[in-house]
Amino acid sequence: MLSPHEFATLMLVNDAPDQAELSGSDLEVLLGRHFVTRETLASGCQQFHLTVNGQVVLDAVTRIR
């Protein structure tokens, strides 16, 4: 089960994958559960993307709302 902060981070990754403030333990949990991947761009910046599993979780939460 994800915490409310982890769900919020998952939604942020979906809406704004290049946000610099995406960091911390919530993001590490999502990376560890393979809901999010991290890409290092040529500029050295990091960009995050939802995996298929991350999208499934987000879709399930959206249907509940």
Task: Render pLDDT for 19-61 as a digit per residue (tens, 0 to 9).
Answer: 656 768 888 999 999 999 998 889 888 889 999 999 999 999 8
Q: Give me the pLDDT at residue 62, please.
A: 80
Residue type, 12: L
Q: Give me the pLDDT at residue 46, please.
A: 84
Q: Give me the pLDDT at residue 65, please.
A: 60
User: pTM above 0.85?
Assistant: no
Please state the domain extents for the chain: 4-64
Tell which CATH architecture fits domain 4-64: Orthogonal Bundle (1.10)
Q: Are 52 and 58 in contact (CB under 8 A)?
A: no
For the chain, what is the radius of gyration of the CA atoms? 11
